[in-house]
Amino acid sequence: MSGKPSFRWVKMLIFLTILIGLAGYSYNKVSSNSQEPPQPKKDGGQSGLGVESMVSDSKQERYAIHYPVFRIKEIDEQIKDYVNQELASFKEDNAKAQAQHEDGPFELNIKYKVVYYTKDAASVVLNQYIEAGGVSGTTSVKTFNADLKQKKLLSLQDLFEENSDFLNRISSIAYQELKNRNPSADTALLKEGTSPQEEHFSRFALLENEVEFYFEKKQTGLEQSVKIKKEWVKDILKDQYQDMKKSRLQAKREQEPVPLPKQAKINPDEKVIALTFDDGPNPATTNKILNALQKHEGHATFFVLGSRAQYYPETIKRMLKEGNEVGNHSWDHPLLTRLSNEKAYQEINDTQEMIEKISGHQPAHLRPPYGGINDSVRSLSNLKVSLWDVDPEDWKYRNKQKIVNHVMSHAGDGKIVLMHDIYATSAEAAEEIIKKLKAKGYQLVTVSQLEEVKKQRGY
């Protein structure tokens, strides 16, 4: 009896040590705004809205998290805290499962949609997919509603007059609506899941004319949302949330196609190498790489995420204007092979459309996140799938010299190098790699140019 508890303590300590080690080891944070030098031309629209991403390309622990930044500290920190907590608990479950020798795939994917946005208010819906520790994939929803003027997040209660019976009202509307829509639904579960408790309605989005409520499968048996017209709760909804302006996000702008430069002349008899950069764009670091390419008359391919490209159109345009190639790395970095064909198609196609909208040009190459590809994903588009030969694991090491050494010692004629333009260390390494490869007589080409050279060489 006396030996057992202390043994448990030792086990717990070891486990904690591993956890802390793991957390420190693979915590990948990309800051889109902290290192940005002051630039006259702001990339990210007129608004303050931006995006941050945390991506791990590890096959043992895949995650891709994207969340919005409003550049209002009080709000951004709460959203950041939430995603950090989700990531920490994913890592914890993952470590437990791996300690029990469970095999993956382990994946966490958090994506978001800004469903309403003006200078006064914003509503964000986060969709989370998690697969860890033997649990088959589950989805969940989290919402954030912000009063941007008062710089605070809103709870449901904040929307309604004090002492009003808002929960009863919403509860009965939601129950009726879901029941009408799904006559064969489990009535008892539905009734319980929509009973008038604040936690049942904590996932909501404040829109121009409605408040939308999101329900999870485990709560109501249905993964559906219900929009409640503001008119229906007019008597209890606070004035400032009655008349909301039209969201800026509804305005779409058309773009002139970006002029492409004359193709650089490439000698197929001389060494070529294709540098590729994934997971961006991220203006501060991506521009550093673009500067180096420009300086040394080289080109590269940027496999961008549609979800990030939408915020940084100027960076995408610059890539193309300077003769680089823009490739498709999906919308928000899920493992495409686990998605339904419809969802995987959407990931690829939405990104194609976003880049087309920004630049007037569509990518010709797809780099699937985590390199995960199969015939069915291949068949979804006519994009060529582009993987890589040299992988310095720059996302993991975050060490400039280590990255430079790995790439330089593995570089070779006709090779494709994988790096990530969202990290400062990778951008610094790239500056040096570009200079060194050039000095060694390499032509720095895009993936399409590399294919062309290989064709000319006859293989």
**Binding-site ranges for Zn ion (CB under 5 A):** 278-279, 369
Q: Which is nearer to Zn ion, 211 or 366 (CB)?
A: 366
Least distance in angstroms from the C-beta of 32 to Zn ion: 16
Q: Which is nearer to Zn ion, 26 or 225 (CB)?
A: 26
Least distance in angstroms from the C-beta of 372 to Zn ion: 10
Least distance in angstroms from the C-beta of 432 to Zn ion: 22
Q: Respond yes or no: is residue 278 known to be catalytic.
A: yes
Least distance in angstroms from the C-beta of 331 to Zn ion: 12
Q: Which is nearer to Zn ion, 212 or 278 (CB)?
A: 278
Helix (H) or strand (E) segment spanning residue 14:
helix 3-25
Q: Which is nearer to Zn ion, 48 or 371 (CB)?
A: 371
- What are the structure tokens assigned to 399, written together? 């060490």
Q: Which is nearer to Zn ion, 283 or 369 (CB)?
A: 369
Q: Which is nearer to Zn ion, 193 or 368 (CB)?
A: 368
| Catalytic residue from among 279, 332, 420, 421 | 420
For residue 420, the 8-state DSSP code is: E
Residue at shortest CB range from Zn ion:
278
24 CB-contact burial (10 Å; exposed 0-12 / middle 13-18 / buried 19+): exposed
Least distance in angstroms from the C-beta of 335 to Zn ion: 11
Measuring CA to CA, how many Å separate 356 from each of 94, 251, 306, 333, 364? 38, 17, 11, 19, 11
Helix (H) or strand (E) segment spanning residue 445:
strand 443-445
Q: Respond yes or no: is residue 329 known to be catalytic.
A: no
Please report, as a single letter, which amino acid is at residue 438: K
Least distance in angstroms from the C-beta of 342 to Zn ion: 22
| Catalytic residue from among 43, 57, 278, 391 | 278
Residue 324 CA neighbour count, 13 Å, CB half:
30
| Burial profile 205-226: b = 16 or more Cβ within 10 angstroms, e = fewer | bbbeebbbbbbbeebbbbebbb
165-171 contacts, C-beta under 8 A, 24 or more apart:
165/236, 166/233, 166/236, 167/196, 167/197, 167/198, 167/201, 168/196, 169/232, 169/233, 169/236, 170/196, 170/201, 170/213, 170/228, 170/233, 171/195, 171/196, 171/200, 171/201
| CA-angle at 421, arms to 419 and 425, nearest 5° | 85
Catalytic residues: 278, 420
